Structure 1
């Protein structure tokens, strides 16, 4: 798959101080990391967070929360591969992809709390909401399955998220635009990693081909939900399907069929798998509210 497949740029990636502020560390020497109880600073510290004129703050907050929920839940599922991945190198790779997504979630939750009128921090979004309050797509919350399924899911989600964030670079809110520009670089690697493994498994042994084919079929019913929101005249769908076509063709796999969406996570309708995942994720924070150490 060529490196520029589906490339879409909305504005200069080196956009002024906002992007630089997101990319740089704090200059006050504070230890700013996202971990419950560590007394971290605002991850958007030093960035002008004024909502531009003409931008609907409610819509902006909803977009940030939905994208953050996708990232947080996906990261939690990827973390489940620790000690389980087929090779140590892949365990490290999956953990790093999860950390990238956690970083994106942190910035997006922080932005949502600034513009939705609540002033909530990222912990409040991650740790004290129930499953029905989350807005992640259902595909992100499904159990990890075997390695082939996780690769198929990562390919679909990273391709979809990359296409969406590429378009958000041109969003009138400079903070969301900068977050998107930062995420695009990470997601380009995530998609490439998943594509390479999909081809390796699909074009490998009889067993690996069978598993990868099964995984693509398992992902297929959840693809429709990805294209029900934030799509511009079907552009995101067309771009993602083209990426899937290239990968499955190279791997000798059937192209997953994108069916209609019957609603889903964006409306707070989740599978039975999300609540147990959140129970594990939130257990310490809920057991010791406002704890510090």
Structure 2
């Protein structure tokens, strides 16, 4: 797979030995990989052609980020297609089924509003993630702007679009606490500041869209908020992996 196809700069050269690098690379790389797959599932099903292209571009951006990040932990193809569910470290938010279009957009809002300040901090800190985070910054800014635009359009649109967006917010909110759970190698982060950035952006957008704000995201470790970072995933994740890994597992070692 060429770097041109993914829309993100290729993997950093070499693998750093900094403590926690592999764990961080797996967590952030798995987040991007799995959300990329979910967005790609909209191919042929998006509301209209322009959005078909937009969702495909988001998916390709995330796939490029996943390649670069996973390359810090090993061979990205082997990590993507050779691991079982318990070995993945993505948050559950990104693995949840797409649902309707409003559900997908609310998930993107929650994820991108977290990814943007996180990657901004990574880009400023010398280390193996700085170049990857800096290259991904403009992509993430577009992803967040796209999600915000659709949140406003859906929330302040028709009664039906408002109701669907509100249901999506209520259904996804309990999964947002996991975004702020500690990740090995990122212990230097100030989780309270990251959480405050996320909360301000998300709640401001929801209010502008006339959508209800459930309140503070659940605290890390609260019941039902997560487990993905520890390899505990939803039933839907097993089906996602079966589809994503089918070709590779059916023809191991094949050259194309």
Give the TM-score normalised by structure 1.
0.79
Q: Does 1:167 align with 2:132?
A: no
Q: CA deviation at 1:34?
A: 9.4
Summarize the alignment of residues 209-288 of structure 1 with structure 2, pairs less than 5 Å apart.
209-229=162-182, 230=186, 231-257=189-215, 258-262=217-221, 263-288=226-251
Q: CA deviation at 1:163?
A: 1.4
More helix by share: 2
Output the CA distance in 1 between the equivalents of 2:159 and 2:166. Answer: 11
Match of 1:130 in 2: 84
Does the C-alpha gap of structure 1 residues 140 and 50 become closer, same or farther in structure 2, counting only changes over 3 Å?
A: closer
Summarize the alignment of residues 99-118 of structure 1 with structure 2, pairs less than 5 Å apart.
99-113=60-74
Match of 1:176 in 2: 129
Does the C-alpha gap of structure 1 residues 251 and 110 become closer, same or farther in structure 2, counting only changes over 3 Å?
A: same
Q: CA RMSD in A?
A: 1.7
Output the CA distance in 2 between the equivalents of 1:32 and 1:90. Answer: 24
Quick check: 2:170–2:214 contact (8 Å CA) kept in 1? yes
Does the C-alpha gap of structure 1 residues 134 and 48 become closer, same or farther in structure 2, counting only changes over 3 Å?
A: closer
Q: CA deviation at 1:109?
A: 1.0
Match of 2:16 in 1: 51
Does the C-alpha gap of structure 1 residues 253 and 64 become closer, same or farther in structure 2, counting only changes over 3 Å?
A: same
Quick check: 2:180–2:191 contact (8 Å CA) kept in 1? no
Output the CA distance in 2 between the equivalents of 1:267 and 1:197. Answer: 32
Match of 2:157 in 1: 204
Highest CA radius of gyration, 1 or 2?
Answer: 1
Unpaired stretches in structure 1, ≥5 consecutive residues? 1-30, 36-42, 114-120
CA offsets 1:204-238 (integer angstroms, 9 cap, x no match): 01111101111111110101111112551401110
CA offsets 1:227-253 (integer angstroms, 9 cap, x no match): 112551401110011011111111001
Matched positions, count = 242
Quick check: 1:34–1:106 contact (8 Å CA) kept in 2? no
Output the CA distance in 2 between the equivalents of 1:275 and 1:256. Answer: 29
After TM superposition, the structure 1 stretch with the greater mean CA deviation from structure 2, 159-168 or 125-134, is 159-168
Does the C-alpha gap of structure 1 residues 250 and 51 become closer, same or farther in structure 2, counting only changes over 3 Å?
A: same
Quick check: 1:84–1:91 contact (8 Å CA) kept in 2? yes
CA offsets 1:49-98 (integer angstroms, 9 cap, x no match): 2637xx32xx0111011111000100010011111111111111011000
